Structure 1
Amino acid sequence: MNKKIFVIIVTYNGSKWIEKCINSLLRSIYPINILVVDNCSTDDSVELLKQFSEIHLIQSKENLGFGKANNIGIDYALNNKADYVFLLNQDTWVFDDTISNLVVMAQNNPSFGIVSPMHFSGDEKTLDKGFVTYYNRNIEENAGKNIAIVPFVNAAAWLVSSACLQKVGGFESLFGHYGEDRNYCDRVLYHQFQIVIAKNAKICHDRKISRSFKKDLIQSKYKMLSQVLDINNTLFASYANALQSVFGLPKYFKQSYSFTFITQLFYNLVVYYLQLIFRMKVIKMTRKKTMI
């Protein structure tokens, strides 16, 4: 008997990719329900989406960000008795057997909270540059296996079991556009679920990984936020890890930016760390909530 699968796509000005993404899903050999949450796009994404009678479209009146918009979709899926939710980025496409292979893997292994496919780039031949950095960290211990057990995989394509969602919950609302997947993976591990990559399933992620000082600063702050919220560590250890990032991240970026920019980065991270200390009550409450 087929499991009930809801594919959730959050869109924002994604007209460049959305038709290819949806059409690839419609060719899936596994029966699925497609739910799109549009984050108040200003291009013609909504008009394109409305051409597909097979999807359910939810239009937000504001840009909620990645996590909050996905939470809307997750709530809808669980309320409609989903067995699994497949979170998929708008700039990706799947293959005919992608979802089928993921579902079989998840069904046979109830301890797998998140099952993600191999992430290829838009050329369909090479691994996505972001994906390969953390996939390669575990490549030796996972050699010869049909899965790779990892502590983290980015949320471009996650098959998440309803059991995991009901225990772990949705994405943390303190995050904007970055860091929410790292935080979620930390919580999945805390609740004794595993995160795996299925080597017999793949998606393509058509993105260009760009960097700027502003983006690196934002991502650095969200990394520190995810560190203080990591319930796998004590509160003291979590803040100690974030303090290490205050000094470690400027060293990491020193080859990319001038001394002036690195000094500015360090100053901003010191200020942000102090803000995290002043927000410790909120941090404690959030950590306690996610431990339940």
Structure 2
Amino acid sequence: MSALPAADVACVIVSFNGAPWMADCLRALRDSTVPLRVIVVDNASSDETRAIVGGFPEVTLLPQAENLGFGRANNIGIARALADGARQVFILNQDTVLAPDAIAQLLRQAEADPSLGILCPLQLDGDGAAMDPTFLRYYVAPHATAYLTDAVMGHPIAGHYRAHALPAAAWLLTREFLEQVGGFDPLFFLYCEDDDLCARARHHGFGIALVPAATFRHLRGFHTPASSIPAGQLLRKRRSRLRSIVVNEIKKPEGRFGRNVWYALASQAVQSAQQLFVYFNWVEALAGWGAVLRVIPEVPRIRRHRDACLTRGPHWLPSVPPTRPSQDREQ
């Protein structure tokens, strides 16, 4: 393999009331062995997040007047990075601490296999002592079994492992991928936007890969135990998640659109009935039925978005002019 070339990499962080983690996140990026341009897109935080970012003069802050959600806010940062000439864009959650050599490891694998569009580092728990359990259960175990087998059996670890899908807490995205597949679909406010983008990557022939030598710690700041959430708030949260799951099933590139619609809606309705009559979980049942009712009037819009994403292009990435030197830091 040739020596790692100099790379223009921009790191995009979407923040929302991220004061407990933001300073540690940004300090870790300062230690990166690959120089980074860091862009923070703040979703109208009500805490000290913006003031903390202000203590890092090298960081570009893009404040938003409202909470745009994870995907739309990332698209704003990605579009700014591309307009300013970035060749790769690294998106990162605010409640993370990146290893110093993680970007270098990701770039080596991107150079080794140009067909990769999404490269994901290994997600560790908050202490960095073990793999993050959610990452292991929902992504590595079902989608990156070759890596898990090598790790458990003590076999040599490869540079990267192809995967069906990986979570967007930390992703390196190539410019070619973003220009041909696009950004996150605004149909999704918070949940399943990464699953949708992974499906679109596969549809357009771009690979998704886990890079074990690149690591980061995920502190999981937003994960509140369900038992401590009021029933009404829990109902709304679950309805939002289930609505995104149903939309993702309908929008997936595989299969006929009509079949996807009926299968996704009927499946969720049946599962909700099961939650009520078998498990007596009325919150989950109402959340599921509420999700179905929310999705039904959205079906025409979902179809338009699906048709757009079946074609190549920088979908959902806003057009922005390059930053002038005097505009390098936006407040």
TM-score (norm 2): 0.81
What is the aligned residue count? Answer: 289
Please give the secondary structure, in 1, of the residue aligned with 2:146.
Answer: coil
Root mean square deviation of aligned Cα: 2.2
Q: 200, 204, 214: which is aligned to 2:217?
A: 204
The residue correspondences of 1:200-279 to structure 2 (distance < 5 A) are: 200-207=213-220, 209-210=223-224, 211=226, 212-247=234-269, 249-250=271-272, 258-273=280-295, 275=296, 278-279=297-298
Letter in 2 for 1:199: P
Partners in 1 of 2:17 and 2:210 — Cα distance? 29
Aligned: 1:141 with 2:160: no
What residue is the counterpart of 1:54 in the other structure?
A: 58
Structure 1 residues 136 and 53: alpha-carbon distance in aligned structure 2, compared to 1, 3 A threshold: same
Structure 1 stretches lacking a partner, 5+ long = none
Q: Deviations over 1:74-97 (max 9, x none)?
A: 111111111100000000010110
Match of 2:67 in 1: 63
**Does the aligned pair in 1 maintain the 2:275–2:282 contact within 8 Å?**
no
Q: Unmatched 5+ residue regions in structure 2?
A: 151-156, 227-233, 312-331
Alpha-carbon distance in 1 for matches of 2:278, 2:21 = 31
Asked if structure 1 preserves the Cα contact closer than 8 Å seen for 2:143 and 2:164, the reply is: no
Deviation digits for residues 50-72 of structure 1, max 9, x if unmatched?
A: 11111111111211111111111
1:147-201, Cα deviation, whole Å (9 max, x unpaired): 2322211110000000000011111111111121111111111111011110111
Report 1 or 2 for greater relative contact order, CA contacts < 8 Å, sequence distance ≥ 6: 2
Instruction: Tell me, yes or no, if the aligned pair for 1:220 and 1:249 is still in contact at 8 Å.
Output: no
Matched position secondary structure for 1:124: coil
Residue of structure 1 equivalent to 2:317: none
SS at the partner of 1:2? coil
The equivalences for 1:59-208 within 5 A come to 59-133=63-137, 134-142=139-147, 143-144=149-150, 145-146=157-158, 147-207=160-220
Compute the displacement of 1:5 (Å): 0.2
The 3-state SS of whatever aligns with 2:173 is strand
Task: Give CA-to-partner distance per residue, 1:110-154, whole Å, 9 cap, x none.
Answer: 111100001011111122222112211134334335223222111
Deviating 4+ runs (over 6 angstroms)? 254-257
Looking at structure 1, the residues matched to 49 and 36 of structure 2 have their Cα atoms a distance apart, in angstroms, of 21
Q: Any conservation in 1 of the 2:162–2:207 contact (CA below 8 Å)? A: yes
Q: 1:280 to 1:263 in 2, by over 3 A?
A: closer
Letter in 2 for 1:261: V
Give the match for residue 327 of structure 2: none
Change (3 A) 1:69 1:233: same
Shift of 1:46: 0.7
CA change 1:199–1:35 in 2 (3 A) is same
Alignment CA distance shift 1:111-1:178 (3 Å) = same
Distance, in Å, in 1 between the alignment partners of 2:291 and 2:72 is 25
C-alpha separation in 1, matches of 2:216 and 2:270:
33
State whether residues 5 and 86 of structure 1, in contact with CA within 8 Å, keep that contact through their aligned partners in structure 2.
yes
Local SS of the residue matching 1:16 = helix
In 2, Cα distance between the equivalents of 1:15 and 1:197? 29
Tell me which amino acid in the other structure corresponds to 1:112: L
Amino acid across the alignment from 1:140: T
**Given the two structures, how large is their TM-score scaled by the length of structure 1?**
0.91
User: How far off is 1:253 after superposition?
Assistant: 5.8
User: Could you tell me which residue of structure 2 aligns to residue 27 of structure 1?
Assistant: 31
Q: Given that residues 228 and 235 in structure 1 are in contact (C-alpha distance below 8 angstroms), is that contact kept between their aligned partners in structure 2?
A: yes
Aligned equivalent of 1:288, options 307, 323, 328: 307
Alpha-carbon separation, structure 1, partners of 2:277 and 2:127 = 29
Q: Percent identity?
A: 29
